[in-house]
Amino acid sequence: MAREALVIGASGMLAEVSRWLANEGWQVTIVGRNRQKLEQVRDGAMNPDSVHLLALDYGQTESLRTAMAELVASRGAVELVVAWIHQTAPDALATVLAELSRPNQPFRLYHVCGSSAWKNPPVVHVPKTCTYHRVILGFVCEGEEARWLTNREIADGVIRAIRQEAAQAIIGQVEPWEMRPTY
Ligand SMILES: NC(=O)c1ccc[n+]([C@@H]2O[C@H](COP(=O)([O-])OP(=O)(O)OC[C@H]3O[C@@H](n4cnc5c(N)ncnc54)[C@H](OP(=O)(O)O)[C@@H]3O)[C@@H](O)[C@H]2O)c1
């Protein structure tokens, strides 16, 4: 039976993660608002037939809830979720988790968080069937300077975290915290 994955915020830094999952044999549903950007992710995959588009605004809680319920009804239980969700949508993750837990099957969440999660880890109430993994996006120090991560570094780090099944992974570095870029 096909294994179902869901990538939220899939057409930016997680584009290569979505393609990698498809290449690893997953059926991957990718979420973003702009359908054209999602199509580009799918069309760049080695096996585009394994990539399914779900264009929605995760800030619209009721539409998101309906879409998640329909996803489970049409594709079956989702086993793996990778989520990069802006803080402008504080209810989105809980909404996704509530709907995905309905089939009562175990699933894994890789919650991609900004560097502030190092100092203030987000409180996420996960259903009993969900294993929570946190991936913190850090920064890179180069001599006296520091910079944010590139999309490639982020995608590679998320893929590594999924492979290693790490409870918490840090991409780049979060210390020394004072070096964190301010731009
Ligand atoms: N610590 C670090 O180094 C760090 C941390 C964060 C970001 N960054 C960098 O900054 C860049 C920009 O960051 P970003 O936050 O814009 O991430 P991004 O991953 O480039 O883009 C955000 C993703 O989420 C989707 N999205 C945004 N709002 C949405 C909504 N309301 N509903 C559904 N989908 C939504 C976007 O598609 P749509 O726009 O089509 O909806 C897109 O797929 C990143 O590409 C990364 O390189 C670095």
- pLDDT mean over 163-176: 97
CATH fold of the domain at 3-179: Rossmann fold (3.40.50)
pLDDT at 181: 95
Residues ≥6 apart with Cβ < 8 Å to 166: 133, 135
pLDDT tens, residue by residue, 117-169: 999 999 999 999 999 999 999 999 998 899 999 999 999 999 999 999 989 99
Cβ–ligand 1 distance for 12 under 6 Å, the answer yes
Residue to mutate, 8, 11, 28, ligand 1, most ligand atoms under 8 Å from C-beta: 11
At 98-123, the pLDDT tens digits run 999 999 999 999 999 999 999 999 99
Q: Ligand 1 mean position to 115 CA, how many Å?
A: 14
Query: Is the pLDDT assigned to residue 1 strictly greater than 80?
Result: no
Distance between terminal CA atoms of the chain? 46
pLDDT of residue 182: 86
Q: Is the CB of 59 under 6 A from ligand 1?
A: yes
- pLDDT surpasses 90 at 24: yes
Q: Is the CB of 118 under 6 A from ligand 1?
A: no
Which atom of ligand 1 is the closest one to the Cα of 13? 19
Asked whether 102 lines ligand 1 (CB < 6 A), one says no
Order across the sheet with 26-32: list the strands: 51-55, 26-32, 3-8, 80-83, 107-113, 130-137, 168-171
- pLDDT-derived band at 183, boundaries 50, 70, 90: confident
Bond from prior residue into 48 cis (ω within 30 degrees of 0): no
pLDDT number for residue 2: 83
Q: Look at ligand 1, atom 27, and give the residue with the nearest C-alpha.
A: 9
pLDDT higher than 80, residue 39: yes
User: Is the CB–ligand 1 distance for residue 41 below 6 Å?
Assistant: no
- The overall average pLDDT reported for the chain is 97
Ligand 1 in reach of 57 Cβ (< 6 A)? yes
Which residue's CA is the nearest one to ligand 1's atom 14? 12
